[in-house]
Amino acid sequence: MPDLTVMRRHYQHEGLAEDQLAGDPFRQFARWFHEAVEAGVVEPNAMVVSTADAEGLPSSRTVLLKGYDPRGFVFFTNYGSRKGTDLAANPNASLLFPWIGLARQVVIGGRVEKVGRDETAAYFRTRPHGSQLGAWASEQSSPVADRAVLEQRYADLAARYPEGEGVPVPPFWGGYRVVPRTVEFWQGRENRLHDRLRFVAEGDGWRVERLCP
């Protein structure tokens, strides 16, 4: 068993200074996202989404970021899943990009809204045929007796919608857009004196504050 108390990396990364920061969090995110891609981070668009249910009980899971622009950050999922029922009761979420290889993380907090059905349909059509069927086959987050039940559902759907045939968008499936209120850029530095610069929405613009590490 490795000794976890001595497992730590020594960060010697370049810092993130106020005068280097882009004017808004979307452009800053674009820069860092590009750098994560260039650095070969595995699935750089994988992010941890945290939600809370009506009682305030939190839960987290990884999903893939499928788009972002000044309106917010978009992912797709099953609206009946645990995250879906959480968001119906409490439309707030936190997104976390753990770009560990670069000693970076981005943490976004904001309100969540469903994307329009046209936007969902446009994305659904870009998914491989098998993923489209998979979205129909899975009552995401519900218990299932065994794997065979899922495979049978998938086979029935594949018979109904053979490859090349249009698969309709499941009504229970679609996108969420997280409209950020805060976006924090964290850069690991020497001696645990990390840089933390946080954009906070203010009126039509953004205020930047530095947080203690």
Ligand X SMILES: Cc1cc2nc3c(=O)[nH]c(=O)nc-3n(C[C@H](O)[C@H](O)[C@H](O)COP(=O)(O)O)c2cc1C
Return d(Cα 42, Cα 76) in angstroms, integer.
20
- Indicate which residue of 147, 192, 196, 198 is catalytic: 192
* Beta carbon of residue 75, minimum distance to ligand X (angstroms, whole number): 5
Which residue in this structure is represented by tokens 């964290």? 186
Query: Is 192 marked active-site?
Result: yes
Return d(Cα 187, Cα 194) in angstroms, integer.
6
Residue 188 CA to its chain's centroid (Å): 21
* Beta carbon of residue 177, minimum distance to ligand X (angstroms, whole number): 14
Rg (CA), the chain: 20
* Beta carbon of residue 65, minimum distance to ligand X (angstroms, whole number): 8
147-160 helix and 129-137 helix, angle to the nearest 10 degrees: 120
Residue 83 or 177: the one with the smaller Cβ distance to ligand X is: 83
Asked whether the beta carbons of 65 and 108 are under 8 A apart, the reply is no
Residue 95 or 183: the one with the smaller Cβ distance to ligand X is: 95
The binding site for ligand X (CB under 6 A) comprises 43, 46, 59, 61-64, 75-78, 81-83, 140-141
Residue 20 or 60: the one with the smaller Cβ distance to ligand X is: 60
Residue 140 or 208: the one with the smaller Cβ distance to ligand X is: 140
* Beta carbon of residue 171, minimum distance to ligand X (angstroms, whole number): 16
Q: For the chain, how many residues are written?
A: 213
Catalytic positions? 192
